[in-house]
Amino acid sequence: MVATSLRPAEVINDRLIEELRRRIVDQTVAPGVPLREQDLATEFGVSRARVRDAFNILEERGLIERIRNRGAMVTRLDPQKVGELFEVREVLEAQMVRLATERAPAESWADLIELFGKRMDGMLAANDLGAYEDAIHLFRRSCIEAAENEVLSSLLDSLYDRTHVLIRRLVLVPGRAQEGMRQHRDILAAMRDGKAEKAERLKRKNIRSAREWFDNYREYLL
């Protein structure tokens, strides 16, 4: 019989990886800040070898970088890299929406359509940007689940980790949340109607729009 439970050290290492990921994604640890092996080993009660194992995984995800004689530090996003991330997001998120539209019944999107309705207009008018972020996150998770593609899900999760802070900053730009909301209403309407190609095209347009806003406000966002 194959054991399915993790050994204690593996559980600790998983907790270490997820906690570091959370701190980096939420920018509790800012870009450019070094990560000290010994400090983390002491905090989590693990060996430095375990910390290095965690660093290997975080480096693969693009969340940290290792610089010779300086150690590990949180990756900085430069304008060129941000542009490349937008290019990949456009392809992957558009494919996500297309697959979700093709594989989920039309009624699956009713709750999201209601969530993105007039009540959200009132929340945005009250500057409740957290509600908008939560709605976008739920849209993304719902589409990933409906797409039923594990490889795509893994790629999008990694991509989201690398762009989460930038997305949150972009939402703060006056007018961006309102435009994003209108765009997602159109996307959801196409998904409800079973128009996969249209939904895909609209999602591409949404990502391109986000990139244009980034380019216009770059000096404030990086």
pLDDT of residue 13: 62
pLDDT band at 104 (very low <50, low <70, confident <90, very high): very high
Q: Where are the alpha helices (DSSP H) in the chain?
A: 8-25, 37-44, 48-60, 79-103, 110-115, 118-125, 129-147, 150-171, 176-192, 196-216, 218-221
High-pLDDT (> 70) share of the chain, %: 94
Residue 4 has pLDDT above 70, yes or no: no
Would you list the domain boundaries of the chain?
8-74, 79-221
User: Residue 110 half-sphere exposure, CB side, CA atoms within 13 Å?
Assistant: 4
Could you tell me the pTM of the whole model?
0.76
Phi, psi of 6 (to 5 degrees): -85, 145
CATH hierarchy code of domain 79-221 = 1.20.120.530
Q: Which is nearest to 29 in space by CA: 61, 64, 74?
A: 74
Q: What is the pLDDT of residue 7?
A: 44
How far apart are the C-alpha atoms of 49 and 60, rounded to whole Å? 17
* Residue range 8-74, CATH number: 1.10.10.10
